[in-house]
Structures are given as structure tokens and as C-alpha cells.
Amino acid sequence: MKRVIDLRDFIDKIENQLIKGRGKWIAEFNESFINYPLDNFVFPLVVRGQTRSKGFLLSRLFAYLAMPNYLVSCFVYPSEINSYIKKEKLEILLREISKMMKKNNVKWSWLIIPKEGEFNQRIIKWVEKNDLSNIGIALVDLNTKNILTNNSVIGRKIKTILKF
Amino acid sequence: MKKISKINFGDLGKSFSIFFILIVTLRIITNFLFTKIIIVEWWILTIELILAAIVSYLYYRLKYHPTFSYDKESFILEIGKEKISSKWKDFKFISLYYSGLGKTSLRLYINDIYKDDYIEISVSDLRLNPKDFRSEVSKLISN
């Protein structure tokens, strides 16, 4: 029998996975916020980090000399069970995230939208066509464990960090 | 006020190692300068160990020992002799910061999470559960 993932468990899992180094190939996530407000939105989870890793001695020196130190973020914004997230709301969300990124020099971000149910077709098509290069978007259906991402390198890479 | 104070064995061990090496090195140099031979005796080593333990413990209490006291309104963070006290309502954001090698801290930001305007409480040194402590502090800040 397939185990249905609870929303709360999923958010905890993402936090643990990112902090323990799941996204290490792309960035070192080392700080997490819960119930983080951004304009009119409250994100249950925001994890941030940087692309330059903190190794020990030689690896730290190599990282300092060879790797750029870009700031990165991962936002989790769950969609409620009995409602569908609207395209307009998603656009506003992305706009707020872009504004924050520009203000604080954040190079790229992930926006993960988990839901205990299916997403409507309109939003799925919109996300699939979206090709924002600096924001990766993922729609995660927790019942079927399906992950749908936007059409960008950053977006497609979300699937490698989200393991159920 | 609730008070949490735990001995940080990592920092204590670090202090002990440094002082022990210092004391032994000083003794060997002094030894050699006056007698031209290096004396190795168990009783000398024992005295050096005891001396290093005493000095390092005092140094640890002065520099590293963490104590955290708090109530519904405010908190006091002491690291050695340094003391920071503040009210919960002065802070807007909290985060868990993982600096590596098992060290986790709770960061309290005054205004902007992208400015270095925060107080850091070492959760791992106080041996608290990071997520439970974060939830508790989150409630205190929002009250």
C-alpha cells in the first residue's frame, strides 16, 4: 500500500534534506526559516544558502578561489487541500520573490508548491510553459508523488533534491 | 527566569589541549636552558596535567561557557563573561543556522535577514533540540 505523505512531514523532509546537503551539488543550504513573511505571503519554510561550499583547509581554499559565492533560496508554499492555486496568485508570488531576489542579490531561487491532491490543468500548463531562468518552480502532488517543474535548468534540477 | 547552562566539552577540551601543550613546552624550554637535559618524570607530567586542567577550566569559564536565561518577555545570553540581554519583541525573524561539524545556532534577526543584524544562540552548545527550541522562541517573539 502506497504511503501518502503528509504535508507537514513533507515540509520537514525538505528542510532536513536541504540542510543535510541534498542540494550540495548546486548550493550549500545552511539556514532555514519557518513562517517567513514576504509582503502578503507567509512561507511555512524558506531555506537559504550560497553556492560556495565551506570545506576544510584545502577544499575551503579551492572553493574560495574557484567558486562564485551566489546567494540562493528555496521557498515552500503549500496549496490548500480543497482549493486550487490560481495562476494570478502564482504570478504575484513569483513577482514578490523576484523583487526580494533583486533587492538582496539572490542569484536564483526555487519555489516548491506541495499539495495533498491534484493541481488544476490551467496551472500545470502555465508552469510547464514558464521559462524563468532564475526561479525554478515545482508543483508536487503528495498523493501521487508527481513532481512537475517549469522549463528551466534550475526548475528541472528540483527533481533531484525531492526524494520521497 | 528559566536558566540553561551546559558545559561545552569541545571548547573545554580545546582549552585544555592548548594550555597543556603551552605548559609542557614552557617547562621543556626552561628545563633545557638551565640543565641542558629534558627531564621526563611521571610526577612532573601529573603536575602539568593538573595545572593545565585548572587553568584551562578557568579560561573556559571566562571565554566560552554558555548560559541562557529567559522568560516570556526577555532573555539573557552569557558567553563566558560577555553578556547580552534583550526583549523578545525586539526581533522580527528567527532561523536555524547550521555552521557545519554538528553546530547549530538559533539566529534572531532584528529587521532584515539579509543584514548582519542578529543575535546568535548556540543551540548545540546548550544541548537543546533545535526545532523545538525554534518553535518555542517563535511563540515568544509573536506574543
Residues B90 and B50 in one domain: no
Stronger pLDDT, B117 or A162, i.e. the higher one: B117
Residue of B94, B96, B99, B108 to mutate, interface with A, max A Cβ within 10 Å: B96
Residues B75 and B137 in one domain: yes
Distances (CA, A) of B111 to A50, B47, B108: 21, 52, 9
Q: What CA–CA distance (Å, rounded) separates B25 from B27?
A: 5
B25, B44, B63 - which closes a domain: B63
Residues B48 and B77 in one domain: no
Instruction: Work out how many domains chain A is built from and give that number.
Output: 1
Residue A29 belongs to some domain of the structure: yes
Q: What single letter denotes the amino acid at residue A152? A: S
Residues in chain A closer than 8 A to B113 (CB atoms)? 33
Residues B78 and B138 in one domain: yes
Q: Which residues of A123-158 are buried (b: 16+ CB within 10 A; e: fewer)?
A: beebbeebebeebbbbbbbbeeeeebbbebebbebb
Q: Supply the CATH number for residue A21's domain.
A: 3.40.1350
pLDDT digits (tens, 9 = 90+) for A23-60: 777 788 999 999 999 988 899 999 999 988 776 777 77
Q: Is B100 close to A30, i.e. CB distance below 8 A?
A: yes
- On the question of pLDDT at A2 being above 70, the answer is no
Distance from CA of A1 to the nearest CA of B (A): 31
Instruction: Work out how many domains chain B is built from and give that number.
Output: 2
Mean pLDDT of the residues in chain A: 86
Stronger pLDDT, B56 or A52, i.e. the higher one: B56
Q: Is A30 close to B107, i.e. CB distance below 8 A?
A: no
What are the backbone dihedrals phi and psi of residue A86, each rounded to the nearest 5 degrees, phi first? -90, 150
- Average the pLDDT over B84-97 and give the result: 94
Beta-strand ranges (E) seen in A77-145 are 106-115, 135-141
Query: What pLDDT score was predicted for residue A83?
Result: 65
Q: What CA–CA distance (Å, rounded) separates B66 from B120?
A: 12
Stronger pLDDT, B15 or B35, i.e. the higher one: B15
Sequential DSSP letters for B90-108: G--EEEEEEEETTEEEEEE
- On the question of pLDDT at A1 being above 50, the answer is no
Interface predicted TM-score of the whole assembly (ipTM), two decimals? 0.85
B63, B80, B115 - which closes a domain: B63
Q: Report the percent of chain A where pLDDT is more than 90.
A: 44
Q: Is A104 close to B114, i.e. CB distance below 8 A?
A: yes
- On the question of pLDDT at A164 being above 70, the answer is no
- Average the pLDDT over A128-145 and give the result: 91
B38, B63, B88 - which closes a domain: B63
Least confident of A4-8, A94-98, B12-16: A4-8
Residues B38 and B84 in one domain: no
Q: Is B99 close to A30, i.e. CB distance below 8 A?
A: yes
Residue A2 belongs to some domain of the structure: no
What domain range includes position B100?
71-142
Within B36-67, residue ranges assigned H as helices are 42-63
Residues B57 and B77 in one domain: no
Residue A1 belongs to some domain of the structure: no
- Average the pLDDT over A131-155 and give the result: 91
Residues in chain A closer than 8 A to B114 (CB atoms)? 103-104
Residue A87 pLDDT level (bands cut at 50, 70, 90): confident
Residue A57 belongs to some domain of the structure: yes
Residue in chain B nearest A106 by alpha carbon: B114
Interface of B with A in 37-76 (CB under 8 A): none
What domain range includes position A87?
7-161
